């Protein structure tokens, strides 16, 4: 797996020549389902998961032979990269249940804390910043905050648009994980913008000026004061 991820994140590598990745998706709702479709079209293999895998058989059939269905544990084991797209209140349980399976893996976290849905833990996550909080809930993973600041409808409608692509902000502490995340953002039809370490993920959390705004990379960098 390390060799695959090294190739996936190699700077200057022709994307066409890069090896496809295996992506496990934990939480196949609107965001997870949209990304599964975009990544399959880009040539990657995906395993979409649910506590009730049978409910996803239709989705997997519609995605074609590069998609399969399984449990969250099977998704964690399958993926070179794992996307976690669950209600934020479920994240601590995911971290506990799948700690061994996720250890050392590149994990993209899309979840957002909403106090009205997720309770007091969401209040604390917003206070700390979601990137810092997610890292505490998912110890031992190579975490990147990604795809949390875009609506699921815009994922489908704005992917691979003509002209300048819509920017997706990223934050992470692991440089190789960020390289892999940038590749997957591009493969999904968007332009990645690395904001900084996980501590800076709060700059595109819920309620910020850039949250769910459709911006080009230049516009996003300007809004966040990035070079």
Q: Where are the domains of the chain?
A: 20-224
107: helix, coil or strand? strand
Q: What is the pLDDT of residue 51?
A: 86
Q: Which residues neighbour 109 within 8 Å (Cβ) at sequence distance 6 or greater?
A: 84, 91, 134, 138, 143, 144, 145, 146, 148
Q: What is the pLDDT of residue 16?
A: 41
Q: How far apart are CA 173 and CA 198, in angstroms?
A: 6
Q: What is the pLDDT of residue 18?
A: 84
Looking at domain 20-224, its CATH class is: alpha beta
- Contacts within 8 Å (CB) and 24+ apart, 217-221: 217/164, 217/165, 217/167, 217/191, 217/193, 218/164, 219/167, 220/167, 220/169, 220/193, 221/193
Asked whether 72 and 98 are in contact (CB, 8 A), the reply is yes
Asked whether 216 and 164 are in contact (CB, 8 A), the reply is yes
Asked whether 25 and 83 are in contact (CB, 8 A), the reply is yes
- Taking the chain, what is the end-to-end CA distance rounded to the nearest angstrom? 33
Q: What is the pLDDT of residue 3?
A: 47
pLDDT of the chain along its 227 residues, tens only?
554 565 555 444 444 448 999 999 999 999 999 999 999 999 999 999 988 888 999 999 999 999 999 999 999 999 999 999 999 999 999 999 999 999 999 999 999 999 999 999 999 999 999 999 999 999 999 999 999 999 999 999 999 999 999 999 999 999 999 999 999 999 999 999 999 999 999 999 999 999 999 999 999 999 999 98
């Amino acid at each position: 797996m390390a060799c695959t991820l090294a190739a996936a994140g190699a700077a200057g590598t022709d994307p066409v020549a890069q090896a496809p990745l295996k992506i496990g998706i934990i939480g196949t709702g609107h965001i997870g389902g949209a990304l599964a479709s975009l990544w399959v079209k880009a040539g990657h293999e995906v395993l979409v998961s649910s506590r009730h895998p049978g409910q996803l058989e239709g989705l997997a059939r519609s995605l074609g032979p590069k998609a399969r269905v399984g449990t969250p544990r099977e998704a964690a084991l399958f993926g070179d990269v794992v996307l976690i797209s669950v209600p934020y209140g479920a994240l601590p349980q995911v971290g506990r249940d799948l700690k061994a399976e996720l250890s050392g893996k590149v994990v993209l976290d899309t979840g957002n804390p909403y106090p009205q849905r997720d309770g007091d833990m969401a209040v604390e996550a917003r206070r700390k910043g979601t990137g810092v909080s997610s890292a505490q809930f998912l110890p031992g993973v190579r975490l990147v905050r990604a795809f949390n600041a875009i609506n699921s409808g815009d994922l489908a409608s704005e992917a691979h648009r003509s002209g300048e692509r819509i920017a997706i902000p990223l934050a992470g502490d692991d440089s190789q994980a960020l390289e892999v995340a940038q590749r997957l953002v591009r493969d999904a039809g968007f332009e990645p913008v690395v904001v900084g370490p996980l501590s800076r993920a709060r700059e595109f959390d819920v309620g910020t000026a850039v949250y769910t705004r459709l911006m080009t990379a230049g516009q996003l960098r300007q809004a966040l004061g990035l070079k």
